[in-house]
Amino acid sequence: MNLFAELNAVDCVGLPRFTSQQAKAVVDRVRSTGALVCDPPACEGRGIVIAGGGRYLSWSWVLVRKLRSMGCNLPIQVWHLGSNEMPGKASELFKQLDCETVDAHQVMMSHPVREIGGWPLKTYAVRHCPWRTVYYLDADCFAEILPEEILNDKDVKKLGSVFLNDVGHHHGPWGFISCSLMTPEKEWETGQFVWDKVSGWMALRWAMWMSEHTDVFYHADNFFGDKGTIHASFLMSHCPYLMAGPSTWEGYGIKHQFKDRHAWSHMMACKRGEWPKPPWMQAAFEEWDSIKLSL
């Protein structure tokens, strides 16, 4: 088997499978051969990416509505998987908020990948959106500071990418070891981040490659989803980033700060029905329901 030739096919379907026991050897081989190394794509400007169709469609609409009500003027894309996750009438409602909807299945016609559903959609959307600086939000993560303020911060401009810590531990024992890394003291929480696709290009290459092998890297013994692979990718590639915070559990989910200001509310407990939605959010969901979409 020509392993090098197979590893060079990192952005197409038909990638070779390997086991979690083989992960470290394969990662070391990819690193030593430079199989992932290439120039970053042509990209410029900045914009917001949200991965959130299907069961998260209403959350994405509420999030976009809030961003626009805050005065956010950045271009926004909501990525989804096929027409079942974004019926035509729903797409029109996003368009009314000056928000583009992107079907990842259509993008895959030109840029095929081995894995795309769920968490892998996040790095895929970051890679294939048109902007250099990507301000990413999960559908249940709400900005509390105007995104432009974060992006205009001098330290963000200097380092390019911004990440935040989680409030607990979720990874298995072998994830970072499989990447020839020491296990960090704190895990990242990637419901929100800023990613510069030029200064952080090799981190994105590693993150996408691992996302194409979810059967290995999202295994229970390794990483708990994309938050582990993205964290490891930046450590492996030595790409610059700014660590914001602190992050604290607030019942509704995680409160993230940026330079002593409440910057993001990741409301996963509200999404799961474990915590009541605040009045402003409940009103927004009621507005969505009142539209009576034919989904």
Taking only the tens place, the pLDDT of each residue in 243-269 is 999 999 999 999 999 999 999 999 999
Q: What is the per-residue pLDDT for 16?
A: 66
Q: Share the mean pLDDT of the chain.
A: 91
Taking only the tens place, the pLDDT of each residue in 143-199 is 999 999 999 999 999 999 999 999 999 998 899 999 999 999 999 999 999 999 999
Taking only the tens place, the pLDDT of each residue in 187-240 is 999 999 999 999 999 999 999 999 988 888 988 789 999 999 999 999 999 999
CA distance linking residue 184 with residue 199, whole number of Å: 22
Give the domain 43-290 fold.
Spore Coat Polysaccharide Biosynthesis Protein SpsA; Chain A (3.90.550)
Tokens of 211: 């996302």
What's the mean pLDDT in 39-50? 96
Q: Would the pLDDT of 2 be above 60? A: no
* Residue among 173, 272, 184 at smallest CA distance from 230: 184
Q: Would the pLDDT of 36 be above 70? A: yes
Q: Please give the model's pTM, rounded to 2 decimal places.
A: 0.93
CA distance linking residue 223 with residue 173, whole number of Å: 9
Taking only the tens place, the pLDDT of each residue in 76-124 is 999 999 999 998 889 999 999 999 999 999 999 999 888 788 889 999 9
What's the mean pLDDT in 272-283? 96
Taking only the tens place, the pLDDT of each residue in 123-143 is 999 999 999 999 999 999 999
